[in-house]
Amino acid sequence: MDVLSIKGRAPYEIIESILQRGIQSFTPPQEESIKRGLLSSENIVVAAPTASGKTLIAEIACANSIIGRGKKAVYIAPMRALVYEKYNEFKAAYPYVKTAMSIGDLDSGDHGLQNCDMLFVSTEKFDSLLRHGISWLDRIGCLVFDEVHMLGESGRGPTLEVLMTKLKQTCSAQIVALSATIGNSDEIARWLKATLVQSDWRPVKLKKGVVHDGKLYYLDDRSALDVEEEELGGKSPIQEIRILQDTMERSKQLLVFYSTKRNAEAGAVKLSEPVEERLTAEEKMKLEKLGEDVLNVLDRPTEQCMKLSKLVRKGVAFHHAGLMNAQRTKIEEAFKGNLIKAICSTTTLGLGVNLPAHTVVVRDISRFDGGGSEMIGINEVLQLFGRAGRPKYDKEGRAMLIAPYKERVQELYRNYILAKPESVESNLGVIPVLRTHVLAFIAEGFLNSNDEILNFLKKTFYGFQYGAEEHLKNVIDEIANDLKRWGFIEEVGKKEYLATKTGKRVSELYIDPLSARWMLNVMEEEELDTVGILYMITNTLEMRPYARTTEEAEEMYASYRYIHKDKTIYNEFERMDYGYYDPVRAFSTAMMLKDWTDEQREQDIVKKYKSTPGEIYSKLSNADWMIYSAIELAKLVHKSAHGMINMRVRLRYGIKEELLDLVRLEQIGRVRARLLFMNGIKTVSDIRSNHAVVERALGKEVAKKVLDQLA
């Protein structure tokens, strides 16, 4: 179907924008979506492989809502990086449309968003906006849910499911849901009362196979009985290196997926020498600059920064959650620009952001989940395989598994390549998951009785899949009783509820009611010291997974429990219904934060807790949210929040209390503040009267910026 064929049915601005990007015709999934009512506001579920054109389907629906019908459109995605990517793409395609992105502060109604026409938002952020009572729901004409197969994910899935159910009930907008290939996309379509567009079309042919002993075993035709084999280029007896050699002989790039950060880093080391041998002089020069950039994203490079920098200079990188965001961005851009030739990654790179390669290898098909080793699912492997083949660059892509011995080839083929995709199943129907949402229903005034909540949950994907009315009744009763006992809701009729002032604020803060109850109990009874404040915020659900336990933390926890044996903070929590509870690891996390506020270097903290810079900064981000929430809760119970306010600043900058005054100024962080302090400059007032000392300590350029603020 030619793009011009929708002339008269879609605003010409949409056609013009598509043509300007060199797109002359629609892909099969796009054509089918248009035929099934995309332009006439029909609900549509699109289940198709990566790079099949799902984003353009969503874009057309959104632009049609805005330009054609004068309505707003909202694009909801589970990951911030994906929201950011889609926001930039749409803004470039429609620069004249008022477009906004919101992925941050969960305690904000973002009233300015009412003036935008196109909003890109994370799942949690839009759920939070609903809790704050946005006034423009009736002005939304199109809702896009990207990566909707994540309904089955235990972490983000339930929030996505509740959000979709709530919007179905309160908003009359067209729903466009985008999904990877899954086993029950038809079930999701029926739940959403949507038309299903299902396709296995992809722009680049995909060859899927299993590698063993330098040979790729594959089927060109799924109905064929015999597996064909192909000798790979290169000579290395190490499987990953052999695949790399073969890929680079074709002047292509490689993505290798591993089960752990450690494996990904070791894989990058393994591939670095073969890649370096093939780099041109110009590439080596550019990689030197890139290596310097990734080395210096922190004030002081950690061992991981140095390791990554060394590998990047050789044309290889590892990629996982332990990296800093700036490092990840630089690596992804360099890979897209064909400067980095191979990336060794954990499976996080397989989700969301568009980073394809000619050849993709899933090296590890099992992972440790805390209770033992488990095989990764078919759908996850298919998602990772979807990164193979770059439109506009490749005529075919290759996706491979590695068999450690010959007998495993057939097994891997049968279990992953020939197997049907798995069905997505809801994880909603359990108390810890529902507790936050039930409080939100009541706090918003959206649902106010057991019967109303039950009727709503019956409309969720969980209710659609399982029914389970009696189970849901019991769950709602138990949650409501807990919320009443904790003082977050009150009963005003027979099983009818209103949120208390505290309950409403807890819901707005977007924290688990049990975490809020814990912090309120502690604040009511204790005058907290530094360790107490940090332990109060780390001993919460939101701070999991906790930092690794150190021997020092174990000893200090035992000491604190003995010294404070009569205090709530070290005893009350054990009497709470909190499921799996590990106070020592929570305390160890508090000790890690304390080390940061005691101005220990990042690399020393990384080493001590066997962590990574990315993980530490993620913990600091979560800690900032929890201490902000604690400060807000302290206001409700009229407790002094002075110590917590100071601690929030200390956590943000990683400083001791004596530097608090200095970091009020821009350009002054933990390193410069300590430098000034060591030179006798201890307050902002000291800066005013010691210009020469400030200039000597910070240098003329930075000193001028600091002094200009005081002027």
State whether residue 399 is helix, strand or coil: strand
Rounded CA separation 693/677 (Å): 11
State residue 51's pLDDT score.
83
Task: Select the more confidently predicted residue: 571 or 133.
Answer: 133
Rounded CA separation 459/632 (Å): 34
State residue 576's pLDDT score.
52
627-645 residue pLDDT tens = 999 999 999 999 999 999 9
State residue 139's pLDDT score.
95
Region 469-474 average pLDDT: 94
pLDDT level of residue 390 (50, 70, 90 thresholds):
confident
Q: Which of 85-94, 294-303, 565-574 has the highest mean pLDDT?
A: 85-94
Region 215-230 average pLDDT: 70
158-200 residue pLDDT tens = 999 999 999 999 999 999 999 988 999 999 999 999 999 999 9
State whether residue 651 is helix, strand or coil: helix
Region 421-429 average pLDDT: 93
Region 391-397 average pLDDT: 87
* H-only helix segments in 494-582: 501-509, 513-525, 530-538, 551-563
Classify residue 417 as exposed, middle or buried by CB count within 10 Å of its CB (0-12, 13-18, 19+): buried
Q: Are 584 and 555 in contact (CB under 8 A)?
A: no
pLDDT level of residue 218 (50, 70, 90 thresholds):
confident
Rounded CA separation 448/59 (Å): 37
Q: Residue type for 600, please?
A: Q
State residue 371's pLDDT score.
57
Which two tokens mark 176?
A: 């466009």
Question: Residue 210 is inside which H or E element, if any?
Answer: strand 205-212
pTM over 0.85: yes
Which two tokens mark 352?
A: 């969301």
503-516 residue pLDDT tens = 999 999 999 999 99
Region 13-38 average pLDDT: 96
338-382 residue pLDDT tens = 999 999 999 876 665 678 899 999 999 887 765 567 888 999 999
Question: Above pLDDT 70, what percent of the chain?
Answer: 95
With the CA atoms of 113, 117, 121 and 123 taken in that order, what torsion angle do they form, in degrees rounded to the nearest 10? 100
State residue 109's pLDDT score.
63
127-165 residue pLDDT tens = 999 988 888 999 999 999 999 999 998 888 999 999 999
281-302 residue pLDDT tens = 999 999 999 999 999 998 788 8
State residue 220's pLDDT score.
58
Rounded CA separation 677/697 (Å): 10
State residue 223's pLDDT score.
47
Q: Which of 29-38, 110-119, 448-457, 540-549 has the lowest mean pLDDT?
A: 110-119
Average per-residue pLDDT for the chain? 91
Q: DSSP assignment of 54-92, as one string?
A: HHHHHHHHHHIIIIIH--EEEEEESSHHHHHHHHHHHHH
Region 435-450 average pLDDT: 95
Q: Any idea what the Cα angle at residue 626 is, between residues 620 and 627, rounded to 5°?
A: 85
Task: Select the more confidently predicted residue: 581 or 271.
Answer: 271
| Other CB atoms within 10 Å distance of the CB of residue 655 | 23
Rounded CA separation 418/48 (Å): 17
| Domains in the chain, CATH or no CATH each | 3-198 (3.40.50.300), 205-417 (3.40.50.300), 431-508 (1.10.10.10), 512-654 (1.10.3380.20), 662-710 (1.10.150)
For 402-421, the three-class secondary structure string (H helix, E strand, C coil) is ECCCCCHHHHHHHHHHCCCC
Rounded CA separation 295/326 (Å): 11
Question: Above pLDDT 90, what percent of the chain?
Answer: 76
Classify residue 368 as exposed, middle or buried by CB count within 10 Å of its CB (0-12, 13-18, 19+): exposed
Q: With the C-alpha atoms ordered 237, 242, 246, 251, is the resulting torsion angle positive or negative? A: negative
Question: 255 forms bridges with which residues in the sheet?
Answer: 343, 360
| Residue 569 CB contacts under 8 Å (≥ 6 apart), including other chains | 522, 526, 528, 532, 535, 536
pLDDT over 60 (residue 578):
no
Q: How many helices (H) and strands (E) does the chain have?
A: 31, 19
pLDDT level of residue 567 (50, 70, 90 thresholds):
confident
Beta pairing class for 373-375 and 366-368: antiparallel
Q: Are 251 and 280 in contact (CB under 8 A)?
A: no
**How distant, in Å, are the alpha carbons of 121, 214, 225, 421 from that of 217?**
42, 10, 13, 21
pLDDT over 70 (residue 581):
no
Task: Select the more confidently predicted residue: 595 or 393.
Answer: 595
State whether residue 103 is helix, strand or coil: coil
pLDDT level of residue 711 (50, 70, 90 thresholds):
confident
pLDDT over 70 (residue 489):
yes
